[in-house]
Structure 1
Amino acid sequence: MSSIFGKSLSFPPRVGADGRMAWSEGETNIRESIAIILKTEAGERLMLPDFGAGLGRFLFEPNNAATHVRLADVIQNALRRWEPRISLLSVEVGPDPDDDSAAIAAIAYRLVATGAAEQTRVAIPLGSA
């Protein structure tokens, strides 16, 4: 049943126990796709120059509420544009309690194919508070 979500090389790329490239499928593939979208900068993909969220531009921004609101907006727009297998429920960005120079994005979504609710968290490097 996981084939309804797709299948692709795992992210990050790695070699499996059988010595071949590892593949991901199902819900794992969607979580990895979200990470790829958020970690890709505009212009990195030759054939898709607009692909990605471009979160690198926030690297030296202050880790405060204003930056968190802007990050949430960029994340929502990128995921709505580039990941059609999910229906975005919420994106909440706040400071990382373990790292003053990072924020955490909590992303809640529903799988379009099954309606199942899922969530993932992504660390985003920033400047200090």
Structure 2
Amino acid sequence: MSIFGKSMAFPPRVGSDGRFVWSFGETNIRESIAVILRTEPGERVGVPEFGAGLARFLFEPNNAATHARVQDAVGRALARWEPRLAVEALEMAADPADAETALLTITYRLVATATRERITLNIPLASA
């Protein structure tokens, strides 16, 4: 058993053996981050406050003020819903190749091993 636990893989899928695919270790944590950031509050019946609520920023301008609000929402959501990691840095900037996208880089430390990880996500926004 992994020190990070396991859960159904995200997105859910069936393996070649006809069973659901499970996710373990660091992959499970990256998938958990994706679930938290892609979920809107109110989507989960049993936990209506779950999620980061990033869809509310979809038509906001791609500028420093919006970036700060997105970073705050992501930081709060990950701190609340993913105890296996500690966010060390959130950096966000407009994507130079696409005026309607910002790049969010999350640097985090795995609590159980102190391993540092980094992921970069595309966040859709309106052009500034």
TM-score (norm 2): 0.94
Alignment correspondent of 1:96? 95
Structure 2 residues not aligned, in runs of 5+ = none
Aligned pairs for 1:4-15 (under 5 A) are 4-15=3-14
Q: Which amino acid aligns with 1:109?
A: Y
* Contact 1:53–1:75 (Cα < 8 Å) also in 2: yes
Structure 2 letter corresponding to 1:43: G
Q: Specify the alignment match of 1:43 in structure 2.
A: 42
Question: Please, which runs of 5 or more residues in structure 1 have no aligned partner?
Answer: none
How many percent of aligned residue pairs carry the same amino acid? 62
Once the two structures are TM-superposed, the CA of residue 12 in structure 1 deviates from its matched residue by 1.2
Query: CA–CA distance in 2 between the matches of 1:19 and 1:126?
Result: 39
Deviation at 1:91, TM superposition (A): 0.7
CA–CA distance in 1 between the matches of 2:20 and 2:122?
26
> Which segments of structure 1 move beyond 3 Å, counting only runs of 4 or more?
none
* Offset from partner CA, 1:70-107 (integer Å, 9 cap, x none): 11111111111110000110111111233221111100
Alignment length (residue pairs)? 128
What residue number does 2:83 align with?
84
What's the secondary structure of 1:5's corresponding residue? coil
